[in-house]
Each structure stands twice: as C-alpha cells, then as structure tokens.
Structure 1
Amino acid sequence: MDWLEAALADLNAMVFASVPVFGVDVTLIVIWLALPMLIFTFWLGFINIRAFPRAIYDLFNTEQDEGAPGQISQFSALTTALSGTVGLGNIAGVAIAIGIGGPGAAFWMFVIGFFAMTVKCMEVTLGMKYRTLNEDGTVRGGPMYSMKNGLAARGWPKFGIILGGIYAFFAMAGAISLVQVNQSYVQVSEVTGFDNAAAYGIILAFLVALVVLGGVRWLGRVTSLLVPLMALVYLAGVFTIIFLNFGELPAALGIIVGDAFSGEAAAGGMLGAFVVGMQRAVYSSEAGVGSAVIAHAQAKTSEPASEGLVALLEPFIDTVIICSLGAIAIVLAGTYQGDADDIAITSQAFAQISSWFPVLLAVAVFLFAYSTLCSWGFYGLQAWGYLVGEGPIRNMIYKIFYVVTIPVGAVLPIQAVINLVDSAFFLMAIPNVIAIYIFAPEIRREIFGYLDRVRKPARAPQQEITS
C-alpha cells in the first residue's frame, strides 16, 4: 500500500500547490476561490449589502407557499448548511490566522468573509433553480444537479453529466470528516481526562447515526436546535472574555485594524496578514466549494433567489460574526503572543477566565464536530445517489459506510486518508466555480428579477417536476 500512500501524498501536494506572495506561501486553490468572491461582489453591485434586509425577512417569513416544492423550511435549510460550515475551523481557524499572520489577519478574515457572501448567494440560487423535484415530493439537489440540469438546458447534456459526476465523486470523498473526529477527541480528552479514543469514536458514530438514518427532515429539526445552541455555548465564553476585558476593547480593535495595515504583522507584513486571513476565511466559509447548496436545495420555496439571499447570511454568521468575535477574545487575552498554536490559543484564552472554561470550549468543539458530521453525512449521501442512483438499499449502504468510518478518525490518524479527504474537499471547488462563471448572467437575472418581483408583488413562478 506504499504506492497508494505516495499517490495520495502527491495528490495532496498538487491540490495545495502554492506560490510565494510577499513572503507567504499562497495555495492556488485559495486564489481560485477568492477571485470570484471579489469579482462577482462588484459585478452584482454589492448584493450582499443591498439585499441583506430582504434575506433577513425571507429567513423568518413563516408564510410558506403551500404549493412550493421542498422538504424543510428556509430557516432549517440555513441551520443545516451552517452546521456543515460552522465547525472546528471557526475555533481553530481564527487562532491559526492570528498565530501566523498576526492580529491583522483577523481583519482580513472579516473582509473576505464579507465578499464570500456573494458567491454563496450565487451558488445556492443556481442550485435551487436546477434542483431535481421528484413526484413524491422529495428533492435532489446540489452543484452536481445544477451542472447536469443546467448544462442540459443549454444543449450540453454530456458535459453536464461529466462535470456533475466529477463534483459528486469529490463530494462523496470529502464528506468523510475524519479530521473533525480526531481534533474534537483531542480537545475533549485534554480537558476531561477521557482517554479512550475507540469509545469516543463509537459514541460519536452512534449519535451521528441517529440523525443520518432519520433523513433530511430529522436533520433539519436537529440542526435547527443544535446550531443556535452550539453557537451560544461558544459565544458565551467569547463574550465573557470580552466583558471582563471591556476596558481594553478599543485597544484590541485598534491592534487588529492597525496590524492589518502595518508592516509589522507576524508573517510578510501587511500583505502577509491579508494572505493568511484570506486563506482562513475561504476555509471557514466554504463559499465556492458548493457543499452548502445540497442543504439549501431542500428548502421549501418557489423562488430560487430567495434561498440564495438566505444563504448569503451563512458566511456572515460563520466568518464575519463568529470568527471576528473569537479573534477579539484572543487579542484581548493576549494568548496569541505565546508558543501555543492552533486551537490551543483559544483554549488558553478561555482558561484565563476560569479553570473550567476550557471544558466549555470542549463542549462547543464537540457540538461543532457533531453537527458537521451530521450535515456532511447527508451531503455525501446526495453525491452517492447522483453516482449510483436512489433506492433504500443503496442509501443504506452509504449510511452504514459513513457511520463506520467515524471511529477511525478518533483511533487512527491515517495521513493517507487525511490527504485524500482534504484534497477531495477542495477539488470540489474546481467544477463548482466553473459552473458559477458559466451561469453568472443567468444567476444575475434570477436574483434581480426576484428583487423586482418582491418590490412589485406578483405570483411566484412554480418549479416543474423533473427527473
């Protein structure tokens, strides 16, 4: 198996190939994801600002169209998508950014998270328009269906099937979230003393199975409760740090903003801070990767752009709010100035408040990992269905396989598997961003047309059942 490990290591090196930019290595895949964020935000006239009030309204609008296709509410679709993106990257990612790029990197995470809102809106609008609606009321959706159905409508059916198949293959591999299992076990074991990796993995697998086997409606109900809870648990610790150091808040904000524009950042000066912040924001928001489209495609609405606008709230919550507040807490605590790295920076910041506060962080880490595993189990199932077809037996085969892989992440830090999963995750961005560029004019018409209709109410167009 040495040849396989070597091949996967080569694949990982290829996917994460980097070029030096002002003294900092920048991965090409991050540039691939960041460029459309900037381009389309300007091209759509800062839709992430102009349509923000409408996005809030649509999120909480309980007057659902009874004839609209879909299986869960728009709120549940958002929380399901958030449960996949609000993960350990929000806790460890901001600490990594500050540790490498200095406090100024957090400012650039905020900025890139702002631009990521546009791409998230575009990919979800496209996914909603070309989702597959079955006669039994169920929905199949995601970038693979956007590519298949959308390109078929343009007279390129074979290209759509192939591009969608490539995306689905990478999505199925990327869904195996071994890193989430491994990192959550490390944090939980450190603060609780629980030192049985196998038992932890089995318990986590059992809890995930309860949700994955229950289907998308059960997933929507669980995430509707879990996402607000896990965010509150984490933010409770963050706000406590901010409150106890409130007098230093202006100085901390000054450090973050000043460091972002100074030449004294930890790596590469001002531009180094920008590059590091950009990379972590891209990883955190997952905008352009397309994974969240699978969850949003289940939303009950007749307006594709309505769900697209709701989706733009995702990077706002995930990166702009949660990551930014975490960064402020770390700077206030000053733990980034020590020798710690990764999630240990955040853990030390929590420990300054009380010896039991790292336990609070461990709870948040566990909830983040658990919700991510649940959502990605559903994402992988949809990709599996695209490749091999739908059916109770076929679906159960994947669900069992997915649940069985979870304990592996806690017991064995298999580098070859990690290389495969990480590579597959970011390879999803290649076909997805290509599709966004191809359909950009159509997406723009869909969004602007919806905004015109809600200003002058008219009957919403009904999506047709496709197979």
Structure 2
Amino acid sequence: MDSIFEQINSILASVFFFDIFFGMIDGVSMPFIVAWLIVGGVFLTFRFGFINIRMFTHSYKIITGKYKTADDVGEITPFQSLTTALSATVGLGNIAGVAIAISIGGPGATFWMILAGFFGMTLKFTEVTLAQIYREKRPDGRIMGGAMQYLSKGLAAKGHAKLGSVLAALFAVLAIGGSLGAGNAFQTSQAMGVLSERIPFFQTYPIVFGLIMATIVGIVIIGGIKRIASTAEKIVPAMVFIYLLASLWILISHASEVPQAISVIFHEAFAPTAAAGGMIGVLVQGFKRAAFSSEAGIGSAAIVHSTAAVKYPVRQGMVALYEPFIDTIVICSMTALVIVTTGVYDPAGEFANLVASKQGAALTAAAYGTVISWFPVLLSFSIVLFAFSTMISWSYYGERSWTYLFGEKYTLLYKLIFISFTVMASVTSAAAMLDFSDLLILAMALPNLIGLYMLQGDVKANLNTYMAKWKDGELDEEAIRK
C-alpha cells in the first residue's frame, strides 16, 4: 500500500510542488503552491483593507447571534457552520502538524505558521463570502455551495464558463481525494499511532481500530449535514477548552523558559539552523502546516459555510475570520510553545524515533507528558476525538464535491468509499499518508485561488454595500430583538 501512495505522491509533487526558483538558488526551494498561497493571502488582505482586524469585533457579534434576522436562509446556524468547519481544522493539524513542522523546520516554523494564519483569515473571508453569493438550493432542499459553485457559476457570469467548469471539476476531484486522504486516512493513521501507545492490542491488530472508527463515523455521516453540525457543535468547544487549559498549565509550569522559547522562535524564523534548510525551508514548513491546519485558501470550509443561515453573504465571511485565528494563531501557537519549551522536537533526543517517523500526535503527547504525567492518556483519547470530528466534517466536503460531479443519487457510494478508507488507513504508514495528504490539500488552492482572484470584485461590492448599511444603523434595525 505504501508503494502506491509513494507513486501518487511523486506524480502530484511534480505538478504542484515544483520549485519556482528552478534550482537556480543553491539550497533554496520554494514550492509553487506555497508561494501561490502567500501571494493570495497578502494581496486579499490589502485589497479588503485588513478586514481581518477591523471587523474582528463585529464578527464576534454575528457569531453570538446579535444580527440574526427573519430573512436568514440556510440549513444550519452561523455558529454551527463555524464549529463544523473548526472540527475539520482543530485537531491533528494542530496537534500532529505543529510537532511535525517544528521537528522538520525547527522552532522558527512557528512564526511563519502564525503569519500564515493572519493572512489566512482574509482568505477564509473571501472564499466563504463567494460561497454564500453563488450557493444554490437543490430540488431535495439541500444547499450546494463552495468552490465548485463559485468557480463554475461565478466565472460563467464573467464570460469564462469553460474555464470555470474545468476549475470546478478539478477542485471537486482534489477535494474528494483530500477528504479520503487528509480528512480521513491521515486522521485514522495518526489517531491509531498515538492510541496504540496506550493500548498495545491495536499494535497487533490495527485493523480492529480501523473498523471501530469506520463504524462510528458511518453512523454520523449517513445522517447528513444537520447531524454532522449538531455533533460538531457539542464536541468542538469542549475539545478546544480542555486542550487550551492543559497547554496553559504546562506553559505556567515552564514560565521561566517561555521567554527563551519565544526568542528562539523569532531568531530561527530568520536565521534558522542549517538542518532546517535555511529561511525559505522554515517558511515553507510554516505555511504548509498552517494550510493543512486552518485550510485557509484551500476552499474546503466554504462548502459548509455556504449552508449557514444568513441574509448577507459577507456576514458569514466575517464569521469565517475566526477559523484561522482560533485554529492557527491561538491553538497552534500554544502547541508550538509547549513543544519548544519541553524540547521534545530534538532529532537526537529522547523521542528521536517519533521525530524520524513523523508521528506528530505521539510527539505532542510526549511533550505534554513531560509536565502532566497522566495527560498523554487523556490526550491519546482526545486525539481520537479530534480525528473523529475532522473526519465527519471532511466527509461532508467530499460528499458535496462527489455530488457536484455525479449527482445526488450516488452520495451513498461516496460514503461507503470514505468508510473503507478509514479501515485501509489503519494498516498504512503515517509518513506516506502525510505526504499524500499535504499534496492533495495544498493542490486544492490552485483552482480555488484562481477563482478568488477573478471574483474578488464581487466580494468587494458586497462588502461595500454591507459596510454602508452597518454605518447607517440599518443592520441593527433588521436584527431580531431578543
């Protein structure tokens, strides 16, 4: 199985990860897709006047329901869409991904990860707003939205129907692959890796773990978006609270070492060790892991946000601002500080085997275990919960993409394929799965960002209209009084 993934990885890497410097700069490589995300995030942040900062408080008021109106249309609430999207991102990307980024690129990768999260807030705003603008209600009452819709319908409205259809189909294919890889198989692989450290039975019979996960996931995803959103709404806040509480406890325990850790992070962001591959190497690791963690610019979360009940498209875009902030700027930063202060990322240290095998979840568990001896046990089971929440959200992304390509009547077939990948992942190595996941997830940014560039004028027009109503007090008048 590993050899199959390695062959697929090689093909995808040659297409999406070619070096934009073409090897002309010795020892420096910048994958095209990473540069693509950086440029997109920076451009849109300036284009919309740093909306990720100036509308941050207003976004919170939307999430808490202050601007709910009688004209809101959708399947789930803005808060449910946020927690569902977060359930796909808050998890192993934060736990396993951060540890892997630091073990490969050094502590400096943390700085670039946070910066990527900052610009990622605007990417999320843009793609989610477009998803709301171009969503459509299907005959069965379900909403179809996301990059597939704004690429096909949006570009068609601009006179580029053929290009839109090709990009939409490409995105859907990559999203299906991403759901099976990063959103499913990688989650299962990492969860089993850390849980088997606590339950040796799963080391001997890994397929049993795969069958258990497949059964539980299957029960939820067959119920559709409302059951998925209801489950995520209950799980995500509790997961985040417990994880952050443990992180704070460890950082308080290492309070005297935190300033030094922060200093190391900033120093190695611009002057990394030779082993990290230079500044560009560290930057790439930071942006790769941030993209895998928050999925900003990837277009995946726009699928679920398109189902949120709101009156104005930009309103849900503003809700989405909080995803990269919570996921990357807050949680990933906390995880990184714990890993750096405890020193578990050292490739020559006590946990060298975990670093070498890219068992990021197990490495993070070890970091927390250096202070809270019993916490790795709790974290091990929490990681399974994180993996589960990510899988149910990504199943929806993949299912909507599958439906876009093949129609509603074949959705059950996709769900059965998704469940089978859960079982298959339990007997596949984490290293091969990690590379496969990275490639598919990051590749989604190619068609998605083309759409964001070409349709950003629509977002700007909607934003201007909304801001005018807000300044005139019209939005307050529309809100349902409680």
Normalising to structure 2: TM-score of the pair? 0.88
- Determine the C-alpha separation between the residues in 1 that align with 2:4 and 2:278: 40
Residue 97 (structure 1) aligns with: 101
- Determine the C-alpha separation between the residues in 1 that align with 2:390 and 2:64: 23
CA RMSD, 1 decimal = 2.7
Cα distance change on mapping 1:415 and 1:280 into 2, 3 Å: closer
Q: 1:88 aligns with which of 92, 102, 114?
A: 92
Q: CA deviation at 1:41?
A: 1.1
Cα distance change on mapping 1:265 and 1:9 into 2, 3 Å: closer
CA contact (8 A) 1:335 1:349 kept: yes
Cα distance change on mapping 1:261 and 1:219 into 2, 3 Å: same
Q: Is 1:316 paired with 2:332? A: no
- Determine the C-alpha separation between the residues in 2 that align with 1:224 and 1:444: 31
Cα distance change on mapping 1:415 and 1:101 into 2, 3 Å: closer
- Determine the C-alpha separation between the residues in 1 that align with 2:341 and 2:245: 15
Q: Which amino acid in structure 1 is aligned with residue 365 of structure 2?
A: S
Q: Is 1:428 paired with 2:432? A: no
- Determine the C-alpha separation between the residues in 2 that align with 1:249 and 1:414: 31
Residue 195 (structure 2) aligns with: 188
- Determine the C-alpha separation between the residues in 1 that align with 2:235 and 2:475: 35
- Determine the C-alpha separation between the residues in 1 that align with 2:85 and 2:291: 16
Q: Is 1:333 paired with 2:342? A: yes
- Determine the C-alpha separation between the residues in 2 that align with 1:281 and 1:81: 15
Greater shift, 424-433 or 71-80, is seen at 424-433
Q: 1:360 aligns with which of 367, 371, 378?
A: 378
CA contact (8 A) 1:120 1:311 kept: yes
Q: CA deviation at 1:421?
A: 5.6
- Determine the C-alpha separation between the residues in 2 that align with 1:6 and 1:208: 27
Q: CA deviation at 1:459?
A: 7.1
Q: Which amino acid in structure 1 is aligned with residue 8 of structure 2?
A: L
Q: Write out aligned runs for 1:56-455 (5 A).
A: 56-61=60-65, 64-134=68-138, 137-176=141-180, 177-195=184-202, 196-262=205-271, 264=273, 266-337=275-346, 338=349, 339=352, 340-341=354-355, 342=358, 343=360, 344-391=362-409, 394-413=410-429, 422-455=438-471
CA contact (8 A) 1:178 1:418 kept: no
- Determine the C-alpha separation between the residues in 1 that align with 2:6 and 2:344: 37
- Determine the C-alpha separation between the residues in 2 that align with 1:138 and 1:446: 24
Q: Which amino acid in structure 1 is aligned with residue 155 of structure 2?
A: L
Once the two structures are superposed, residues 258-291 of structure 1 have per-residue CA deviations (whole angstroms, 9 ceiling, x without a partner) of 3334455752455543333233222222111100
- Determine the C-alpha separation between the residues in 1 that align with 2:413 and 2:253: 51
- Determine the C-alpha separation between the residues in 2 that align with 1:87 and 1:24: 31
SS of the counterpart of 1:68?
A: coil
CA contact (8 A) 2:41 2:119 kept: yes
Cα distance change on mapping 1:157 and 1:260 into 2, 3 Å: closer
- Determine the C-alpha separation between the residues in 2 that align with 1:420 and 1:99: 19
Identity of aligned residues (%): 39
Greater shift, 79-88 or 189-198, is seen at 189-198
Residue 38 (structure 2) aligns with: 34
- Determine the C-alpha separation between the residues in 1 that align with 2:146 and 2:237: 24
Aligned residues: 459
SS of the counterpart of 2:49?
A: coil
Residue 465 (structure 1) aligns with: none
Normalising to structure 1: TM-score of the pair? 0.90
Greater shift, 200-209 or 150-159, is seen at 150-159
Q: Which amino acid in structure 2 is aligned with residue 224 of structure 1?
A: E
- Determine the C-alpha separation between the residues in 1 that align with 2:230 and 2:341: 36
Cα distance change on mapping 1:301 and 1:137 into 2, 3 Å: farther
Q: Is 1:8 paired with 2:8? A: yes
CA contact (8 A) 1:142 1:291 kept: yes
Q: Which amino acid in structure 1 is aligned with residue 366 of structure 2?
A: Q
For structure 1, the 5+ residue unaligned runs are 463-467
CA contact (8 A) 1:12 1:422 kept: no
- Determine the C-alpha separation between the residues in 2 that align with 1:22 and 1:50: 41
- Determine the C-alpha separation between the residues in 1 that align with 2:281 and 2:173: 34
Greater shift, 182-191 or 451-460, is seen at 451-460
CA contact (8 A) 2:61 2:67 kept: no
